[in-house]
Structure 1
Amino acid sequence: MTRSRTLSPTATNSVTGYPAAAAAPRPRPTRISVERAGNRARFSVLDQGLYLAPRPVNGTADPLHLRVALIGIHMMLLGGDDVRIEVSVDPGVTLEVVEPAGMVAYDADLVPSRWSLDAELGEDAALIWDGASFVAAAGSNVRRQTRLQLASGARALVRETLVLGRSGEHGGRLRSITRAAGPGGDFLYEDLDLTGPRHRAVGILGDAKVVATATAVGWRPGALPEPAAGAAPDGAREPGRTRRFDLAAPGAVARSLSVQAHTADREAGAVFEAWRAELTS
């Protein structure tokens, strides 16, 4: 975990020599911890943060599988916002986190904002993260960071949809970093820099403005599902748009690019649901 450091009242600025202003305290994070008690799982920590409140959700018959929704309680993301989520899953327990509503990073005249997820998984634990669309509006400047630490036998499945700009506008600056590590080292370390004009470079997005991803680590998931029969033309899989990338360690990434959010999200969502069924079976 990152620790913030507050300057003492007598600290001085090394450049000006004048007393330095004390660093502003970081906003309260949202914390979720689950533990095993006999043959059942239970929440040991459900701490509401400044921006998000965790709310338990019904819907699973497995006593070792818990679900929780993240409910927004504060307007976000504005310039200077720092949304932090900390998750801990004890050995043998499955935690499913649902984002019921999308998030928009608003025009902030490029003042930076942050969104971060830090998750630690015990042995044979599992984390399912069902993320909603994240929109970087024109004028936003966002750094997203997802860090997963997996013990032996742990598995994780993460869904993420990044949208550059609202309808009819260019996107803001967005940098998304994903790092998943296990006992033997990194499963995945990706730094997706979508700031400035480079996101249109060959091999990044081209003419697309939506990146939808399903990421599985800790096991090798099955093949990508076929498109539903009789799908409408705008819902059909775009040729050459959806790809699967197998990791060197057990895991895979399925990614869909599109000019329309609903198309890419539907593609990645079908993969996510298929891999979710594998993980929970």
Structure 2
Amino acid sequence: MTSTRIAVTAGEPRAHVDLAVGALAPRLIWRDATRAHVAVAAAGMVLLGGDHVHIGIDVGPACTLEIEDVGGTVAYRGARSSWILEVRIGAGGTLLWRGLPFVVTDGAEVERRSSLTLESDARAVIRETLVLGRHGEWGGRLISALAVVDRGGPVLLERLDADGSAPEPGVLGHNRVLDAVIAVGFRPPTRPKDLDFDRPGGMARHLSDQTHSSPLDAVWDAWVAHAEERFLTPEPVVGR
């Protein structure tokens, strides 16, 4: 298993950012005292059959980590591969990760597990686009599990088991693309067809056969802006 690590902690005049290269190569783009912008790209061919990738992310208290995905991920045919993401967000911290498509090609078998642990007043907005097959393919098998917990317990627990060669009604059907924006730790401005969680958070989803037809770009922008409203300082009122 290869491990990639991204960690940010507050500091003066600039935050401390710890980056470790594994299957993904993180690169620092920008930072200030409490915020870091990091790009991630594949360090080699990922995912080949039999690859096991681990990504660890640690957002320190009152910090914001923005991750920019470069190039997306393609899982190729072969032995079962795995993609494990473990995230911890400290008190008052925020994670913003706009993931590019995760494509599961014909003959690939992938287990993808993501877990997020939120401390008090922590927030996250994540874009996740899962695609069965490249153009002209049905796609392989994907098991995708997501678990989000905070100090009060589970916020979201879900599991998707899909096989492009054996589409199932009520799962993806004949759709190849499952696009989602997920917000946790706050109440995003959901639309009527979006899902509001019982705990603070929500999810917008779109099923289609093409990635470019998704309407969720605007949702991403709106939910990120809402997540960061607490950092905006109102203009001072100047008396006459």
Question: Does the pair score TM above 0.5?
Answer: yes
1:54 to 3, 9, 26: 26
Task: Give CA-to-partner distance per residue, 1:8-51, whole Å, 9 cap, x none.
Answer: xxxxxxxxxxxxxxxxxxx23001111012575221x21111x1
**Which amino acid is 1:29 matched to?**
S
SS of the equivalent of 2:2 reads coil
Q: Distance in 2 between matches of 1:69 and 1:199?
A: 34
Q: What's the offset of the Cα at 1:198?
A: 6.1
What is the Cα-based RMSD across aligned positions, in Å? 1.7
Gaps of 5+ in 1: 1-26, 225-241
Greater Rg by CA: 1
Which amino acid is the alignment partner of residue 251 of structure 1?
A: G
* Runs of 5+ consecutive residues of structure 2 not aligned to the other structure: 230-240
1:78 matched to 2:52: no
Deviation of residue 199 (structure 1)?
Answer: 4.2
Query: What pairs with 1:131-280 in structure 2 (closer than 5 Å)?
Result: 131-195=99-163, 199-202=167-170, 204-224=171-191, 243-264=193-214, 267-280=215-228
Asked if 1:32 corresponds to 2:6, the answer is yes
User: Contact 2:74–2:103 at 8 Å: present in 1 too?
Assistant: yes
CA contact (8 A) 2:133 2:164 kept: no
Normalising by structure 1, what TM-score? Answer: 0.77
Contact 1:136–1:172 (8 Å) recurs in 2: yes
C-alpha contact (below 8 Å) 2:38/2:66 kept by paired residues: yes
Structure (1/2) with the larger strand percentage: 2
Percent same amino acid at aligned positions? 41
Cα distance in structure 1, aligned partners of 2:227 and 2:164: 37
What is the CA-CA distance between 1:260 and the residue it aligns to? 1.1
Paired amino acid for 1:48: V
Deviations 1:179-206 (Å, cap 9, x if unpaired)? 110000011001011136664312x212
Given the two structures, how large is their TM-score scaled by the length of structure 2?
0.90
Q: Is the 8 A contact 2:190 2:196 kept in 1?
A: no
Counterpart secondary structure, 1:132: coil
Aligned residues: 229
